Structure 1
Amino acid sequence: MKLYGASPSHFTRKVRVVLHELGLQFEFAALSRLLEATPDAFGENPLLQMPVLEDRGYRLIESDLICEYLIERYGKKQVRFYPIKGDGILHRQRLAIMNGGMGAGAKIMRAKRSAIPNFDDYAFFKQERASLTASLEWLDKDLGPRLTYAAEEFTLLEISLMCFVEWAPFREMVPNLDAYPNLKRFQAHWHEHASFAATRPSLAVPA
């Protein structure tokens, strides 16, 4: 099993957390040619994105698909994709908003890496930054006082949210989580959980 990605990447981290929860051994191939415009710079991903997972003849792209594959193939006792309990449509909407906010941040990072001057002056990037902060606001309100989305279940929702809320301040997309008290409490609660502690973006090699 081989995972292609960048260790600071929030999308890559989602997969790393799932792999940790499942106790799976894997080879990590760190991507470094992030300004190149060829699939081979991204583990042969035709979308030029990360992560990519190789396993048992598969070459899988997109973090949610990879996580779903890992959970379905290697066991559901440790982690589930969506909670069994609750509103399934709302759970899917939550994940869509998490991914959308994270994706907006990834576009901003590409602009920074590309050294686009004054990119925040462009409507496109203004909208991406607004999308990121609006996503955090929605998720903060939706989370409320909870620390999980379903009692006694650990799912991709908790994993994705934790990856998002730790990545955003790390990449200086927001100064801190003070404006999002529910997300701040959530992050503090899960901070020392083993799979999150082992994959923190602050421990990553810059990329």
Structure 2
Amino acid sequence: MEQPARILHGTRLSGHTHRVMLFLHLLDLPHEFVDSPAAVRQSPAFRGLNPLGQIPVLEDDGLALADSNAILVYLARRYAPGSNWLPDDPVGAARVQRWLSLAAGEIAYGPAAARINARFFDTGVPAALAQRLAARVLGLMEEELGARDWLAGAATTVADLACYAYIAHAPEGGIALDAYPRVRAWIARMQALPGFVPMPAD
């Protein structure tokens, strides 16, 4: 059977893009990557895929999907139903959703914003606020990883994928991970997953 056409639009230095790219690799799903810098995202063609002009966008067999966390949920449900990636039970699903919300909240405005401010452009998030949010979420992760190896349960889930890139690359934004040994051990476990692909530093 011919594989459905999959195209991932994004940039390789985007943690949001990386979480989708990583999941595609972990699921062993063939895909084409299309680099989509800011100028491309203003084009009518890209706006036809995502009117907000944001990355990533995944085209999967004629379907265009935006929002990295939504894409993770889609991929888990379509290509790994019944797996640990997205639990079916209410408690497991709620635990995953909690971390997806943190990825879009404290992590996005904490470690992610600090990295973008330091490396690319001013996000508008004050440095002090980004540092506070980073300390809050890293402290939470450090505490909860004392009880288990993965963020939302006993196995790897899309919660781990959603949080990984911006936590692992937090030092690029001046946020040190030295005080969080459990977080650093979790990063190492993520990087040891079969099929893992790194997000480049440059």
1:179 maps to 179
Structure 2: how far apart are the matches of 1:182 and 1:168?
A: 15
Which digits, 9 at most, give the CA deviation of each residue in 1:105-157, with x for residues without a partner?
Answer: 4444554533x5xx8xx874432332233222222222224212333x33102
Q: Which residue of 2 aligns with 1:162?
A: 164
State the match for 2:199 in structure 1: 201
Q: How far apart are the structure 2 equivalents of 1:42 and 1:139? A: 39
Deviation readout 1:2-34 (Å, 9 max, x if unpaired): 00111222111111121112211111011233x
State yes or no: 1:20 paired with 2:25.
yes
Amino acid at match of 1:15: V
Q: Does the residue aligned with 2:169 lie in a helix, a strand or coil? A: helix
TM-score, scaled relative to structure 1: 0.76
Do the aligned partners of residues 100 and 42 (structure 1) sit closer, same or farther apart at CA in structure 2, a change above 3 Å counting?
farther
Partners of 2:106 and 2:36 lie apart in 1 by: 22
RMSD of the TM alignment (CA)? 3.0
- Tell me, yes or no, if the aligned pair for 1:50 and 1:61 is still in contact at 8 Å: yes
Name the amino acid aligned to 1:154: T
| Deviation of 1:190 (Å) | 2.9
Total equivalences in the alignment? 192
- Alignment gaps of 5+ in structure 2: 1-5
**What CA deviation, in whole Å up to 9, does each residue of 1:148-205 have, x standing for no partner?**
2333x33102222332321212x33413x21112211212233222333x2x123x6x
Q: C-alpha offsets along residues 62-102 of structure 1, whole Å, 9 cap, x if unaligned? A: 01111111222223366522474845434322221133233
User: How far apart are the structure 1 equivalents of 2:92 and 2:83?
Assistant: 21
TM-score by length of 2: 0.77
- Give the equivalent residue in structure 2 for 1:150: 153
41 and 134 in structure 1: CA distance in 2 versus 1, 3 angstrom threshold: farther
Identity of aligned residues (%): 24
Partners of 1:71 and 1:21 lie apart in 2 by 11
Relative distance call for 1:157 and 1:57 in structure 2 (3 A) is: same
Alignment correspondent of 2:56: 51
Partner in structure 1 of residue 140 of structure 2: 138
What secondary structure is seen at the aligned counterpart in 2 of 1:53? strand
Give the gaps of 5 or more residues in structure 1: none
Contact 2:86/2:93 (8 A) holds in 1: no
Structure 1 Cα separation of the partners of residues 163 and 125 of structure 2? 27
Which SS does the other structure have where 1:182 is aligned? helix
Moved more, 81-90 or 7-16: 81-90
